[in-house]
Structure 1
């Protein structure tokens, strides 16, 4: 074959493939182009693809309510916690008195690595001999857990409350393994 014929054929194929390349590249969305005067179709002197009519102008509306980002603000919870304590039997705990919105309750955070299920009793003592107590089952696992008393209306200053958690073996003897308090001195404090 003639080389000249092959060159002309290749040139024709290239010219014919340009509109196909433009179609594959996709339409000029929302009237945006490359900033050089209308994109590939205009450069080649071809008609531009049909554009959609602009959306009607939005009608004025009442001012939107102030939007919040993130979760709703939670009420402040004050806590007074004793030190983290542990026993040689594999129990760790920290006990706290919590106060929020005029209510007081006790909470004990614990971890049981003893290898057996335990019983826990959490008591919150308040002014005028008020006491709230709850029993919690402590599973035989290494996962942290918590025991919490019900929230009660506060009667007095937060400093007048204290909480104590006791962790024991659930048998007839109820051998105490650990006692943790909200106002316990830190280890080494007198």
Structure 2
């Protein structure tokens, strides 16, 4: 046999057996019993007994931080509207952290891609507009304007989304607004 092949095989066996040898020897990863309180888990901040017991009493997972507090976002939304061609949409004005923006949620089951134009109108004639491509499919999507500094009161803002066929005719399929009246049944 080739000595080089035997040497490579022996090296692979040694490398593969190291984790097994460590498990059999029972290493003290938490550092308990070495008098230092150190070790791998401790150096990663995962086994400090005083911190673990305090967090465990509080019901928290010691290995993960607490939830991040999100700033409050207020929204004013119009009703969810449906077009007979297979389009659903709801449009909202959102406000949070001193900023205001528009968002339209939609689902396009019409079988074709559409164009959407979302416009947010604010006090003193301020207007922000964005165009969004609306893919065909059953998955929900959203179109959102950039956020802008809030001016005046939240009631001074409104948003309108218009969904149209993206060909030469630009036929409007649905107009959804943040202050649209609820559709009448009947």
Q: TM-score when scaled to structure 1?
A: 0.65
Please name the residue that 1:91 is paired with: 87
- The answer as to 2:50 corresponding to 1:54 is no
Unaligned runs of 5+ in 2: 1-23, 39-49, 56-61
Please name the residue that 1:158 is paired with: 154
Q: Aligned partners of 1:57, 1:111: CA distance in 2, in Å?
A: 60
Please name the residue that 2:46 is paired with: none
For the residue of structure 2 that corresponds to 1:142, the secondary structure is: coil
For the residue of structure 2 that corresponds to 1:159, the secondary structure is: helix
Provide the aligned length of Structure 1 versus Structure 2: 139
Q: Aligned partners of 1:174, 1:70: CA distance in 2, in Å?
A: 49
Q: 183, 186, 190: which is aligned to 2:179?
A: 183
Q: TM-score when scaled to structure 2?
A: 0.67
For the residue of structure 1 that corresponds to 2:166, the secondary structure is: coil
The C-alpha deviation readout for 1:24-81, integer Å capped at 9, x for no partner, is xx99xx9xxxxxxxxxxxxxxxxxxxxxx9331659xxx98x9884431111111111
RMSD: 3.0
Matches within 5 A, 1:76-155: 76-155=72-151
Bigger Rg, structure 1 or 2? 1
Please name the residue that 2:18 is paired with: none
Please name the residue that 1:8 is paired with: none
For the residue of structure 2 that corresponds to 1:183, the secondary structure is: coil
The C-alpha deviation readout for 1:83-117, integer Å capped at 9, x for no partner, is 00000011100000000100000000000000001
